[in-house]
Amino acid sequence: MRFVEIKSEDQQALLSLHRARDFVVRQRTQLINMVRSLAAEFGITIARGVARAIDFAKGIIEGKQSGLPELAQDVLRVLSRQLVDLHNRLGWYEITMRIQARLSRQAQLLQTIPGVGPVTASAVAATIGSGHQFKSGREFAAWLGLTPRNHSSGGKERLGRITKMGDRYLRQLIVVGMTSRVRQVANYPERADPWLTKLLHRKPARLATVAMANKTARIMWAVLTRNEPYKPHAA
């Protein structure tokens, strides 16, 4: 069992901001799914994406869907107002996180790593601090549940899926950041990491994403413990 360092009050306050943001994101997703399902009952299809759902909700509030029964319009209007309010509230959380990330040296150091933004950086810095409680980057990656399960026996090495035994929130943030990097390989191949490009030629995109998340977690540990920015060639 791996224990983290005792957190300061400032770290706890920053983590409370992350927990509240995560809660609002889940609430927004639930409301979007509800609005989609109710609209589908009347033959209205909302395109995928949060932005499309917000645009539809604003249209409902403004009365653009006049062909619906009056009762259905009232129900959708109430849900749409809740959805737009949550969306605006989420913007405040993200702006506050960006401001806090600028005030933390550890978060600034983590943001020098490709694919790590202010939200991920502030969450990692607030959770593990300096990272000295881990002996290596692999221990930190294992603590996050990003290392594969070992099913080796009889001298044959067999590695399965990742354990997912650690902090789900941190793991999710890192994987989402690496998913963005994998997508950039197709759009901007000249900017892509050569290691990632070679990996995508051999493995499916999902496996490459998890492998990059594992590698990034190890780099995070090195950046925090050494207290210096990320250096691509040294890594």
Q: Where do the structural domains in the chain lie, given as residue ranges?
A: 7-103, 108-235
Q: Residue 161's pLDDT is what? A: 59
Encode 189-214: b = buried (16+ Cβ within 10 Å), e = exposed. Answer: eeebbeebeebbeeeeeeebbbbbbb
- How far is 71 from 58, CA to CA, in rounded Å? 18
Q: Residue 142's pLDDT is what? A: 86
Q: Average pLDDT, stretch 146-164?
A: 59
Residue 147 has pLDDT above 70, yes or no: yes
User: Percent of the chain beyond pLDDT 90?
Assistant: 43
- How far is 68 from 62, CA to CA, in rounded Å? 14
Q: For 21-74, write each residue's pLDDT tens digit.
A: 999 999 999 999 999 999 999 999 999 999 999 999 999 998 887 788 889 999
- How far is 201 from 97, CA to CA, in rounded Å? 36
Whether residue 128 contacts residue 174, with contact meaning beta carbons closer than 8 Å, is answered with no
Q: For 85-130, write each residue's pLDDT tens digit.
A: 999 999 999 999 999 989 889 999 999 998 899 999 999 998 888 8
Whether residue 124 contacts residue 110, with contact meaning beta carbons closer than 8 Å, is answered with yes
Q: Average pLDDT, stretch 131-138?
A: 87
Please provide the average confidence, as pLDDT, over all residues in the chain. Answer: 85
